[in-house]
Structure formats: structure tokens, C-alpha cells
Structure 1
């Protein structure tokens, strides 16, 4: 099948990956599934997908950002959408810098992802707000920035933030995006 309709999904939640896969297959995509970067690299030896969906946080605290980088190196024209339940400004910026075309917070469905594939160019019509950023938002973004820098290692991120590991874990649990 041509790369135009081939999609690689890198997601460690097998139930979600299976559901997403079936939904995209109904839309005419040839879907390849991987749960981690190594599996995706093996698939890329034989396939050249034109699309990819990558979970930001993979099993064992592996970062999907490394997958984005690998996919972009493999095919700079591939349209890559990053999905995450741990959205932050820092990870969104890094994902785009590494080659993703869009960054979506979970829950996202097939319609959202396909719309993201079709909305690659930026839009100047986005409304600018006059609202300043809250302290909670700044704290949340800083926590995620440090998590990215620490490769999602909670103990290391807590050390860098100067807080107890359990305190950081509680903050992450409270703010989890499902």
C-alpha cells in the first residue's frame, strides 16, 4: 500500500491502540502498530508510512519524543501527531521542534487526529487572549518541562524541582488529563 494511506500508531495502551487502529482501517488506512520505539524501528525497515500517531508517554516512562525524532529522520514528510494525557507547553514545543505536525491532549478520537493531519499549516485567525497565565499553570508547565528534561523520571524530576518525590507524584495525579 502507498505511504499516503499508511499509518503507524505507537501506543502502549493496547486497547486504545486497537480501537484507534480499527477506526482508521474503516477510513481506508493501512495501520501498523507498535508499543515502543524499537518495534516502530523494525516496522520502518519494511514500511514507509505517511502518517504516525505517537503517545507521548510510553511504557516504562519512555518518551514518545524520541519516537517523533526517529520518525522525522526516517521520513521528513511524514505527518506525525503526538497524543498525550500529560499535556504541557514544554512537551508541545519539543514535539513540534522534533518533527510533529500537531500535539493533541487525550482524550482524542479518530476525527480529531485526522483533522490534525489535515491542519498542518498554522492559522493566523487564532484568537489572542488578554488573560495572564496563572501561578498554577506556570507551576504545571515548569513541572512538565523538568519531567521532559529528566526523561519522565519522577524521582529525578522531583530532585531537580527541590521537592519530595511523593509530593510530585501527588501533583501529577491531581492534574492528570484522562
Structure 2
């Protein structure tokens, strides 16, 4: 009985339009998240690339979307922009393993309502999608490490230089190859 009550509360939080587009190039993660979101009452569409995400967004613009930032064929921000052009009330979450402040700001400017770093579980994604306007996310318990602060600064400069590696390396007084290695890695905790 408690499971039924929890499920009806989840369906109520979603609303009448339960369309959800998940865009991520990590196929196993995408399938797991898709099943978990279906169990919570969403009508899930999945896409593994920017091109597939754009096609599905144009065919049926969803009420909810979870979009990975970096995909094999491009940037997930393109999918966010396309969804936002077609439907202004879509609740979009950016999900990425390469989290940084600069891309979070860009995603929010394009219309994302939240930004989650991988690995995020289905409960975190659901909470972010169904959070009411004005409701605040919980503050993380642990502050950023020194490595993470350095990573954030590098990413901020990289975004300011319009993702130009050579210009970023020059501004940071860093060797270009060193910068490329740093950019290829996931964000430190």
C-alpha cells in the first residue's frame, strides 16, 4: 500500500504531460535511467546522440528532458536550445561527467532548470525534474576540493575563450598539451 501511495505522489508531481526525453551516449546508463523514470510515471523517449535528440525533440517536444552535456557527435546544449525554441515550458536538466561552473551557467542561460554531475541516480534526477519553482536544492555537505576549484577555474577560462584550447592555454600560462590532458579528464571531486 505504501508503494502505491508513493507512486501516486510521483505521478501527481509529474502532472498530466509526462513526456520525457533522455539524451546520453552512455547506453547502459541511458537504459537504466529510462526504466527508472518509466517506473515513476514518465513516458520516456531515449536518444544516444545530438542528431537523434534533435530529431526526437522536433517530432514530439517533451515536457521534461535530461540531456548529457558532452555527446559523441557534439554538444548537448544544441538539444537544449532546440527544445527551448519549440516549447518554453519544458523542464530541462543537464547531466554531465564534466561538470563545471561555466557550462552550468551556459546551460541555465539556454533554459535548463538544473545541472547534475554524474553519477546521478534516478532519485536525484526525479527530484530535480519535479522540483517546484522557487524550491531550493539541498546544499552539498562537502566543499569543493582544491583540485576541483582549479578545474572550475580552467573550465571558466576555457568557456570565456569560446572553447579555444590554444587561447585558453595562453591565458592560463600553461602548455597546450597539458591543458588538453586536463580537459579530457573528468572533473575531480
Q: TM-score range by the shorter chain?
A: 0.7 to 0.9
Do 2:61 and 2:83's aligned partners in 1 also have CA atoms closer than 8 Å? no
CA distance in 1, matches of 2:124, 2:57: 25
Aligned residue number for residue 86 of structure 2: 74
Call closer, same or farther: CA 1:6–1:124 in 2, change over 3 Å.
closer
Call closer, same or farther: CA 1:173–1:63 in 2, change over 3 Å.
closer
Residue 145 of structure 1 deviates from its aligned partner by 2.2
1:52-71 → structure 2 map (5 Å cutoff): 52-60=65-73, 62-71=74-83
Call closer, same or farther: CA 1:71–1:147 in 2, change over 3 Å.
farther
Aligned residue number for residue 101 of structure 1: 113
Aligned residue number for residue 142 of structure 1: 153
1:28-177 → structure 2 map (5 Å cutoff): 28-60=41-73, 62-123=74-135, 136-149=147-160, 157-158=168-169, 161-172=172-183, 176=187
Runs of 4+ more than 6 Å apart: 124-127
Do 1:85 and 1:177's aligned partners in 2 also have CA atoms closer than 8 Å? no
Call closer, same or farther: CA 1:51–1:57 in 2, change over 3 Å.
same
CA distance in 2, matches of 1:175, 1:44: 28
Gaps of 5+ in 1: none
Aligned residue number for residue 31 of structure 2: 18
Call closer, same or farther: CA 1:160–1:37 in 2, change over 3 Å.
farther
Q: Tell me which moved more, 31-40 or 103-112.
A: 31-40
Do 2:148 and 2:187's aligned partners in 1 also have CA atoms closer than 8 Å? no
* Structure with bigger gyration radius: 2
CA distance in 2, matches of 1:149, 1:86: 17
CA distance in 1, matches of 2:35, 2:136: 34
Residue 57 of structure 1 deviates from its aligned partner by 1.1
Question: Aligned residue pairs: how many?
Answer: 172
TM-score (norm 2): 0.75
CA distance in 2, matches of 1:44, 1:134: 37
TM-score (norm 1): 0.79
Root mean square deviation, CA, Å: 3.1
